[in-house]
Amino acid sequence: MKRFERFQAIQQLDPIRDTCTICRQLAGYEFPWDITRALEVALFRTFCVPSIATLLDRTAEFHHRSQKRYDDTGLMVSLILQWGYDTPKGQAVIQRMNQIHGHFPISNYDFVYVLSTFIYEPVRWIERFGWRPLSESEKQALFHFWVNVGKQMEIQDIPNTYAELEQYNLEYEREHFQYSEANQRVGKSTLKLFLSWFPLPLRPLIQPFVYAIMDDRILQAFGFPSPQPWQRRLLEHMLRSRGNLLRYFPPRQTPNFYSDEPQRSYPQGYDLTDLGPPHMLPKLNQSKP
């Protein structure tokens, strides 16, 4: 298969009817690394909202079990992309998410915003750093995929079009992104988690580049310091260079989902019932995914 053959095949699919197939191709074959990084940025963005950060701060999940909380979120998102929202396995994951969220007083407005980040952060990341841009059909497929997931989560009043939900996303951030101590505590715990993946001597060198991937609104909402301009330029150059080089690599022949990778929190493997705060939730009769 040549580099653009899969892209050409995707363009023959319908973004509504074939949304699960398209999103599986994007997440598993075309942009697995980029979508994972984009969803990490999305995670940070949601913590810039005091109502969301206060809830997470109060549960202390990101303070005491940050790796598990990260892995659980990554696994559930990845499993839905891998299996689709319209299969028994995908629906079991959504059921598990609904169980977890049902324990917390989360507003519908916050739900809609968080859902929107799963669409627009990957789109924005790939537009900046991907080895090729997304087509309009692919963007629509991402929109319809996550809107359908949102409906199965019983999220109400989701805007009806890609443009309307994007506008909601932007307006929500303008209105709700603001500094709070809860934001900062959750942001610092998440930053500490990310840095823990690197050798200890390298962490002080890497930390400014984590700041560099954040825009000014994120930094202000966390009370984080601004990186040096050269650090942002260097990071963007490296990410764009990676995308440009990938154009010359052969296409991926086997899918690479986050859910297929070894998990730090589950070195012996996991059941779907392991995901989420274990002391809160009833067990499901679910085999390993």
> In the prediction, which pLDDT does 285 show?
38
pLDDT in tens, 196-218: 999 999 999 999 999 999 999 99
Q: Is residue 286 part of a domain?
A: no
Quote the tokens at residue 162.
């890609």
What is the tally of structural domains in the chain? 1
> Locate tokens 């506008």: which residue?
167
Residue 285 covered by a domain: no
Answer whether residue 166 is part of any domain: yes
User: Whole-angstrom Cα distance, residue 26 to residue 143?
Assistant: 13
The confidence score (pLDDT) of residue 286 equals 38
State pTM to two decimals: 0.91
Residues in the chain, pLDDT under 50 = 281-289
Question: According to the model, what pLDDT value does residue 284 have?
Answer: 40
3-state DSSP of the chain: CCCCHHHHHHCCCCCCCCHHHHHHHHHHHHCHHHHHHHHHHHHHHHCCCHHHHHHHHHHCHHHHCHHHHHHHHHHHHHHHHHHCCCCHHHHHHHHHHHHHHCCCCCCHHHHHHHHHHHHHHHHHHHHHHCCCCCCHHHHHHHHHHHHHHHHHCCCCCCCCCHHHHHHHHHHHHHHHCCCCHHHHHHHHHHHHHHHHCCCHHHHHHHHHHHHHCCCHHHHHHHCCCCCCHHHHHHHHHHHHHHHHHHCCCCCCCCCCCHHHCCECCECCCCCHHHCCCCCCCCCCCCCCC
Nearest in space to 146 (alpha carbons), one of 114, 169, 185: 114
Tokens describing residue 203: 């962490």
Instruction: List, for residues 115-143, the tens digit of each pLDDT value.
Output: 999 999 999 999 999 999 999 999 999 99
**What's the confidence (pLDDT) of residue 287?**
38
Residue 270 lies in a domain: no
Angstrom distance (rounded) from CA 279 to CA 191? 25
Q: Range of 169's domain? A: 5-261
- CB neighbours of residue 246 within 10 Å: 19
In a domain, 88, yes or no: yes
